[in-house]
Structure 1
Amino acid sequence: MPHVCDDCAREFTRMDNLRRHQREQHAEESRGGTKDRVMGRENSLDPDIFDDDSNMSFESDTEILNSSDREEETEDDDDEEIESVTSEEDEEETEDDSEETDSELDGSVTSCEEGEEGEEEEDTDEGDMEGEEEWALYRDSTILQPLNEGEVPQQVLKETRRFGRTGTLEGKRERKSYKALVEDPMLRYSGQYQETCSDLYITCQVFAKGKPLALPVQTSYKPFSTRWNWNEWITLPLKYSDLSRNAQVAFTVWEIYGPRKALAVGGTTVPLFGKHGMFRQGMHDLRVWPDQESDGAEPSQTPGKISNNDDQMTRLGKLTKKHRKGHMVKVDWLDRLTFREIEMINEKEKRESNSMYLMVEFPLIHFDGVEYSIVLFEKGADDTLQVRTQAEIVTVPDPEMLMENLVESKHHKLARSVRSGLSDKDLKPNAATRDQLNLILGYPPTKAMSLEEQDLVWKFRFYLTNQKKALTKFLKCVNWTLPQEAKQALELLYKWQPIDVDDALELLSPQFSNLMVRRYAVSRLQQAEDEDLLLYLLQLVQALKYEDFNEIKRGLDTDKTRHDTVSSTDGSYADSMVSGTVNVISQDGFHPLQSDFPTRKPEESIPVTHDECDLATFLIQRACKNAILANYLYWYLFVECEDQDNINRDQKVTEMYINVMKRFSQALLKGGGECRKRRSLLAAQQTFVDRLVMLIKVVQREGGNRKKKVEKLQALLADPEVNKINFTTFDPIPMPLDPEVQIKGIVVEKATLFKSALMPSKLTFNTTQSQEYVAMFKYGDDLRQDQLILQIITLMDKLLRKENLDLKLSPYKTLATASKHGFVQLVDAIPVAEILASEGTILNYLRKHSPNEKGPYGISQEVMDTYVKSCAGYCVITYLLGVGDRHLDNLLLSKSGKLLHVDFGYILGRDPKPLPPPMKLCKEMVEAMGGQSSDQYQEFRRLCYTAFLHLRRSANLILNLFSLMVDANVPDIALEPDKTVKKVQDKFRLDLNDEEAVHYMQTLIDESVGALFAVVVEQFHKFAQYWRK
């Protein structure tokens, strides 16, 4: 037989005494269903109550309460719940005492003593408790009585689903003095002088900011004999959502004082929400302030919770709460003894305080068996919360930071193993998956795919092989560090539907370093025409930075071996270019590019080993076949080789460009007669530019004003002995700026200097076509940024022309011949500022040069259409490229009505002026169309919408070109290279559909036309230009 401790023996002895007592004394009451009310269920076992057979001492005036969960809060910890556990009977009970106690037990556990309302409530509880274990509530704790008597009872918490309930009123009321009784004889008939408990009632009302939110609610009548116990649920005429953060409930206990008179026994007030905005739950003992009516003031004069850190009830209540929440180890037999002791201490504290306490219970919210808390939520409340201004940031070391996630890595390998390829070949997506794949394929090149999206693209890779737009997305999903995965991707690469040339540019970006992928991209570029290739040539030269430098160098060695050549002792032409010397220039004039190879019979064709090759070999092969490509490739490479002043430049990059230049020189030398002639002309161009730079340096060092410098310039151009070259007449060479034009001399009389800080020179060239070609040579200025923007404008113009939209754009030519000088084509146009100063309006200027009485506003219809189209085109393009520093001096207008922009020193959103408008569209330009109500202005808006939509469809191509320029030494790109592509992408607003994009463009136009600050800035610029002149 197992050993049973003395405490457990006494407990079970009391249980047997209770069952015997109920069978003998309360058989009739049990048949009436009283026991059911106590147990909360019909046909239950006898309640488990402890008979006092021990020598423990308990207070005789304590009673059995209806719940073990009481909570006490202080002002310092407003949300701390204190569980109050009631105590046992006092000392040994006689059989008569037991009968009285059982009667009180019956009244305490039920919702109300022997009342019909209490019976209805307990009947409701019976239905809730069917099929569950029985509940019995006692003063010391709430005990779960199992149906199997052999099981050990456990500590549990009572659940309730009502709004709020008034419980018992504990404590002694002090009687009035005899003096007060003499003064008011009616007090003799009040409840204070009754031998039994007087009939009291409670009123309950909700306040906020001292004002009542609803009418008070009163408890129902209930006669009392030995103690005050309402045990009544109260429903207030308010919703939870109607309560504010500072809402508080006020309880006032009343007694009948006389006919239609009531006397306040005491009052107490408690906030409904704690300091964290959580609605109160569970049992609370509230202090009742005698002879005072509760108030809802802030702060209240009758607070139910009083701050006292030394209070035993508060300290024990916190420990009880921790036990109930499972934060302490539970030992059943020890817990019962502990709770009794806690209750004894609580009763002693209450008795010594000489105060009255009202026990109230707030509901516990349950839904689907889960307990919830009511939390106050106010929109925008987080914005007004106080935060710590000097919060300390504690850095906790994480040893796993930036380390490989083994779980994700394993999942990745399993999902992309060779075995999965067998089942993935026949996979077909459903409608939802297909829509998701189409959404992914529509992402711009800069948008990174999530891991889930990458896995989805990989899973349906065989299905996507028929969609050429999907190849770049698929290659981005590949982890090239895993050999098996890379092998699968490369095998699938040549089975994919061939991609367009525009998409092939993305494969040349730094994101793709795999050699086979880059060669595949080059193979797609071989399908492009020379005219299209010329549009991308600037970016392709920059893409050489992401090639394999060792392979480029091996190509140079291979060419030398193939042609049985030997290196010269003085160095190659490319070396001389990089050193900045002019050793390649003879003293007598022009001569061909010096070579590392001895003179021998040239081969008739450029050797091609296979269709696929690296990017450098491809560019050299195409340049050897096209004179225009050869011209621009040479100067693009020369600028990269010459740009050694860039301190951030990697020397390996410079060495790579030198190797490419050497290979280009070798290819031209070993080509046919046309290639050797082309090489000779490039050398002549180089000599011409070098001599011209030397001349301009001399002019800039000349003292005096602009007039003297112009005279010096003309004198130097006319004297062939000074620079060992005759600038007035020389053998025809292709103009570096435009190789289709053959120049043969400079018109000395027309040479001049512009009025600006750098004083660029204006040169007029004689051509072989008996025409003059006017260009500006700028020394001391980096033209690579203008060169890039004008190349993009040229590309956009051709894209719009493919859509049958000719906006009469004038993308003039610009070529940087070094990092500090270059050529700019001059067009026959006048700054708008000069037109307004001389003619008054743009309309007068157009009417003067293209009059037509039948045309709009007396101007030729063709000229007006040209003006409207060119305005629309440049407004959209300059907005997309973020061109800044727009004023009427860098807007030019030709006699034919073509408007064009010049000077692209600020791009990608940079602007020296504050608050610039989205696009340059001043009132003078709108008035030239006839005003905002004219048909021409409406046509202008329509053209802007159309051009914006067409260019959005080619956004990927433009973004790919900018992505290849992020490492170029372009000033505004070098400022924030990582944000360059994002800036352009944001302008396209690819997140909008076509209809939304049109509406967005409408907003930009209206904002630009009505920009007042731009007018003020324009006036300041006009004054600055006036004083400068």
Structure 2
Amino acid sequence: MEPFSFASSDQLNFPVSIRIINLDGAEAPLPFSTLLDHPELRHIGSNQSPYSDLYVTVQVWAGSKPLTVPVQTAYKAFRNERRWNEWLSLPVTYSTLPLNARLAITIWDVSPTGGEGAQGHAIPFGGTTLPLFDKHNQLYKGRQKCHVYRHRQADGNDDTKTPAFLPRKKSRDGGPEDHEADELDRMEKLFKKHEMGEIPRVDWLDQLVFRGFEKRGLQSKTSRVAPPKASRPDGDAGVDGAPGAPEPSAFLLNVELPRFDFPVVFADFEYPPPPVSSYLQASTSSVLKPPPEMHFGPGINPAGDDDDDGGGGDGGGGGGRLMRVYDPEVAAKDNPAESKHRRLVRGQHRNGILDKDLKPNAKVRDELNTIMAYSPTHTLSPEEKDLIWKFRHHLTRNKKALTKFVKSVNWQDQSEARQAAQMLGKWTDIDVDDALELLGPTFDNAAVRAFAVDRLRKADDQELMLYLLQLVQALKYEHISPQSGHDVSQDSSLARFLISRAVNSFTLGNYFYWYVMVECDDKSPEQSSDNQAIYGKVAYDYMTELVKQPGGEEARMTHKRQAELIAILSKISGEVKESGESMAKRTERVKHFLADPKNELVAIDPPLPLPIDPSVEIVGVVPEETLVFKSSLHPIKVTFKTSTGRKYPIIFKTGDDLRQDQLVIQIITLMDELLQKENLDLKLSPYKILATSTKDGLSQFVHSISFQSILNKYRNTPVLSYLRQNNPDSHGPLGMRKETLDTFVKSCAGYCVITYILGVGDRHLDNLLLTPDGHFFHADFGYILGRDPKPFAPPVKLSKEMVDGMGGAGTEHFRQFKQYCFLAYSALRKNCNLILNLFTLMVHANIPDIKADPDNAALKVKARFHLEMSEEDAIRHLERIIDVNLNALMPVVIDRLHELVQAFRA
């Protein structure tokens, strides 16, 4: 025997799918006399047109019971034929199907008067029941022609009255059917094999066969098939006049089932036999149990069920099920009726002048306040937009209403856009978070963006530094021409503003220069060449404007020297990473390179502002304090001597894109500023980090020790022992200085809340760090927004070692820690709009965890704020998370596994 390969259905974890192709066939129109006797038939779509709009529902049945809810096709308008050509996916997999599973396929017509078997305005046009497994227990695949039973809903029962496949008919004298029909059936089977690739293709011969079969099939139909019967008003066309006995109509529904490389044979999980006691108990009951009741979800009615019994209806007796028709043009094209309504409502000649005197009543004022409280990611409904437009003059005194007003304007309508632009000048001053929202990708109007830039002019350099990373990204949404020889300052008010501020502040200009340079260096497929050209023009205009300022030539030369320093460090870092030497030899190689006078790093004259922190001027390196870290990328630690005589260690890394870490550190720095404004100092110590290209970057080195190292060094209460050793005080709490314990408790609370909001993942004891004076902080932000390489990762990283460092879960210090968490969470929830807008501006920044799902990046952060809850409920929710994480076993297991893996790698 030849080898035969097949797959079992219990291993096919693939959803049951079917493609509804088209409906073939026609029937004679109803006689006019029938329409006179039954006037309700005139309202049925199929009685009005041979190509009326129909839709199809598919439901999986087994054992004469439905297994799933029905799934229906989208709305489609027909012209010359009823063709859907749509795949439907049902909420059940092949692995869970029983052998007697079948698809109940019903074609629905529409009639406002209802009729027999109607569900609301939907009445059955016809139905068919298609088994999923054949007589050989193999899964059907490929195209299938299903006979349609007019005016019947597919029953789906095991003894179905609407089978898709008919048994072979006998002739009237008892003999077999004529040879012509047999030949047609044989050819159809061969065509199916040819379509599935089981018969080799020969193009010229295939065309001859197709034409011959088509001609032969048409001749056979005209000779053998009787004229189709007209639709009967009572529903069923009986066989030989016997009412109630279903008969297939002249319609055929063409469907397609998924094809697989091998035959799929039914296989089921074999359950162990029940114990004997269950048989004895079952035999004592001679009374048959009633069939189980099926509870449908809200708005879902069983097939053929009315709402008169009050169960599962849409709110009333006799109303039937409300049929929702999907319109593919919704949200893609403007509804002409709505557009006309908007022009009438908002036209200046109608009521624009009167709008100035409109005042909302108490009810409308509450509605407006609710709209104003929406987050930046909320989508306004057309009714809400009309309400805002109506009371736009009243809302000019509300600074939070401007972004909602801009969203309610149809900027494609020139008259409306002109009125809206005039309204911008009357609005009160808005906050910075709203100005940042107006610079996002959804706001395209130049007047709106210029208005937002005017608000940013009032921010000082220190505040502007907090948002500079996002403002550089916002240049992608400006109308800047990528053509060379064109001044970007003329195209973009934002570019003009950033350049003017950068040339007047070297600190601001330093970061602006490096942020722009990284975008110029980004040649990934996600960033178009136009973006590189735009940022190249911005950098050129910045340098051109810089040299016009007093001392501008020196500033430009400083940028050049900084770039040379980065190039030298990148060269030695790349060599160390690629060499296969031992750690000691790598370190010696770097020390020798830095000490070589030819590289001009031992003495730097004149002093050079450090790119990562331009307030620090370096005068040389300390080669003997160089270190190469033991990791896959082998980053190097370089210690610089500063002009003040102090040392400034940094870590230079090659081969890694640090923009995601840079973003997280910037957000942490911003959150620290927001908490400070609320008089809440949580002793956060975000280290500085700067990406100098898409594969190089600097980060500040902070003298600290990881929790894993503390755990390896101290046996009992490791964190407490470490803090006591570095900050002893016999009279202080827990044997250490009070300031040290206070710093540890506050910094733990701050980082727990911030990492929870940002969804920081991959938290283990190696990236939880502690300084000798008690500052706790996180490092390595390779996973954010809820991503985590480890399963069952906790939303808040609160390790046992952290709690032990506070004295334990039942101490006053731990209760103080939770109180700091609640205060920080509450303060940051008040500023959630600013944080969400910053993430929205970064959606096209080519940051890995944002690029994975850019449309939902801000929504993931918003979900952590739980804005749908009151402040009290949100704090209770955070407390539950902390308590659950405190007693969870899985984080401890993950930490131990990580420790074992690291030990194995070492």
> Which bracket does the TM-score occupy, shorter chain normalised?
0.5 to 0.7
Q: CA deviation at 1:962?
A: 0.5
The alignment partner of 1:505 has SS state of helix
Whether 1:511 aligns to 2:442 is yes
Report the residue type matching 2:438 in the other structure. L
Measured on the aligned residues, the alpha-carbon RMSD in Å equals: 3.1
Report the residue type matching 2:413 in the other structure. L
Whether 1:1017 aligns to 2:894 is yes
Aligned to 2:710: 835
Task: Give the conservation status (yes or no) of the 8 Å contact 2:489–2:495.
Answer: no
**CA displacement, residues 147-174 of structure 1 (integer Å, 9 cap, x when unaligned):** xxxxxxx99xxxxxxxxxxxxxxxxxxx
Q: CA deviation at 1:849?
A: 1.2
Q: How does 1:219-298 map to 2 (within 5 A)?
A: none
Distance 1:882 1:412, change over 3 A: same
Whether 1:654 aligns to 2:532 is yes
Q: CA deviation at 1:490?
A: 0.5
The 2-side partners of 1:468 and 1:552 are apart by 38
The 2-side partners of 1:808 and 1:986 are apart by 26
The alignment partner of 1:510 has SS state of coil
Whether 1:637 aligns to 2:516 is yes
Match for residue 616 of structure 2 among 741, 754, 773: 741
Whether 1:892 aligns to 2:823 is no
The alignment partner of 1:466 has SS state of coil
Match for residue 781 of structure 1 among 656, 664, 667: 656
The alignment partner of 1:425 has SS state of helix
**Percent of counterpart pairs with the same letter?**
47
Q: CA deviation at 1:1025?
A: 1.4
Task: Give the conservation status (yes or no) of the 8 Å contact 1:539–1:965.
Answer: yes
Report the residue type matching 1:630 in the other structure. G
Aligned to 2:811: 934
Report the residue type matching 1:411 in the other structure. H
Q: CA deviation at 1:378?
A: 6.2
Task: Give the conservation status (yes or no) of the 8 Å contact 2:798–2:886.
Answer: yes
The 1-side partners of 2:410 and 2:485 are apart by 28
The 1-side partners of 2:489 and 2:384 are apart by 44
Task: Give the conservation status (yes or no) of the 8 Å contact 2:639–2:648.
Answer: yes
Identify unmatched segments of 5+ residues in structure 2. Answer: 1-37, 40-115, 121-160, 162-231, 237-242, 244-304, 314-324
Task: Give the conservation status (yes or no) of the 8 Å contact 2:480–2:492.
Answer: no
Identify unmatched segments of 5+ residues in structure 1. Answer: 1-153, 156-273, 279-306, 308-321, 328-341, 343-371, 381-394, 560-611
Distance 1:711 1:458, change over 3 A: same
The 2-side partners of 1:843 and 1:776 are apart by 29
Distance 1:399 1:627, change over 3 A: closer
The alignment partner of 1:739 has SS state of strand
Report the residue type matching 2:580 in the other structure. G
Match for residue 451 of structure 2 among 506, 520, 532: 520
The alignment partner of 1:913 has SS state of coil
Match for residue 616 of structure 1 among 468, 473, 495: 495
Q: CA deviation at 1:556?
A: 2.2
The alignment partner of 2:664 has SS state of helix
Aligned to 1:904: 781
Q: CA deviation at 1:377?
A: 5.8
Q: CA deviation at 1:676?
A: 2.2
**CA displacement, residues 668-722 of structure 1 (integer Å, 9 cap, x when unaligned):** 111112x22211111110111112212222333433211111111111112233x
Whether 1:405 aligns to 2:284 is no
The 2-side partners of 1:707 and 1:514 are apart by 59
The alignment partner of 2:375 has SS state of coil
The alignment partner of 1:491 has SS state of helix
Distance 1:400 1:883, change over 3 A: closer
The 2-side partners of 1:452 and 1:433 are apart by 12
The 2-side partners of 1:924 and 1:718 are apart by 42
Structure showing greater radius of gyration is 1
Aligned to 1:677: 554
The 2-side partners of 1:948 and 1:889 are apart by 26
The alignment partner of 2:392 has SS state of coil
The alignment partner of 2:690 has SS state of strand
Q: How does 1:483-502 map to 2 (within 5 A)?
A: 483-502=414-433
The 2-side partners of 1:702 and 1:931 are apart by 47
Task: Give the conservation status (yes or no) of the 8 Å contact 2:526–2:846.
Answer: no
Q: CA deviation at 1:894?
A: 1.0
The 2-side partners of 1:942 and 1:435 are apart by 33
**CA displacement, residues 560-604 of structure 1 (integer Å, 9 cap, x when unaligned):** xxxxxxxxxxxxxxxxxxxxxxxxxxxxxxxxxxxxxxxxxxxxx
**CA displacement, residues 704-757 of structure 1 (integer Å, 9 cap, x when unaligned):** 211111111111112233x5x344544310000100000011111111100111
Match for residue 547 of structure 1 among 478, 483, 486: 478
The alignment partner of 1:863 has SS state of helix
Distance 1:744 1:702, change over 3 A: same
Q: CA deviation at 1:400?
A: 9.1
The alignment partner of 2:850 has SS state of helix
Task: Give the conservation status (yes or no) of the 8 Å contact 1:917–1:1007.
Answer: no
TM-score (norm 2): 0.64
663-672 vs 547-556, which deviates more? 547-556
The 2-side partners of 1:478 and 1:491 are apart by 12
The 2-side partners of 1:377 and 1:803 are apart by 55
Aligned to 1:448: 379
Q: CA deviation at 1:825?
A: 0.2
Distance 1:791 1:660, change over 3 A: same
The 2-side partners of 1:1028 and 1:969 are apart by 31
Report the residue type matching 1:807 in the other structure. L
The 2-side partners of 1:887 and 1:558 are apart by 47
Distance 1:619 1:277, change over 3 A: closer
Task: Give the conservation status (yes or no) of the 8 Å contact 2:521–2:694.
Answer: yes
Aligned to 2:346: 416
Task: Give the conservation status (yes or no) of the 8 Å contact 1:713–1:751.
Answer: yes
Aligned to 2:83: none
Q: How does 1:526-541 map to 2 (within 5 A)?
A: 526-541=457-472
Report the residue type matching 2:431 in the other structure. D
Task: Give the conservation status (yes or no) of the 8 Å contact 2:684–2:750.
Answer: yes
Distance 1:449 1:400, change over 3 A: closer
Aligned to 1:826: 701
The 2-side partners of 1:729 and 1:687 are apart by 12
Q: CA deviation at 1:404?
A: 3.4
Q: CA deviation at 1:613?
A: 6.8
The 1-side partners of 2:821 and 2:686 are apart by 18
The 2-side partners of 1:401 and 1:961 are apart by 27
Task: Give the conservation status (yes or no) of the 8 Å contact 1:873–1:944.
Answer: yes
**CA displacement, residues 361-419 of structure 1 (integer Å, 9 cap, x when unaligned):** xxxxxxxxxxx977446689xxxxxxxxxxxxxx9997999443221111011011012
The alignment partner of 2:487 has SS state of helix
Task: Give the conservation status (yes or no) of the 8 Å contact 2:640–2:647.
Answer: yes
The alignment partner of 1:703 has SS state of coil
TM-score (norm 1): 0.56
Whether 1:992 aligns to 2:902 is no
Aligned to 2:645: 770
Task: Give the conservation status (yes or no) of the 8 Å contact 2:570–2:654.
Answer: yes
Query: Number of matched residues?
Result: 607
Task: Give the conservation status (yes or no) of the 8 Å contact 1:277–1:375.
Answer: no
Whether 1:955 aligns to 2:885 is no
The 1-side partners of 2:377 and 2:610 are apart by 38
Q: How does 1:148-547 map to 2 (within 5 A)?
A: 375-376=308-309, 402-419=332-349, 420-547=351-478
Task: Give the conservation status (yes or no) of the 8 Å contact 1:776–1:823.
Answer: yes
**CA displacement, residues 762-805 of structure 1 (integer Å, 9 cap, x when unaligned):** 00001100000011000111100000000000000000000000
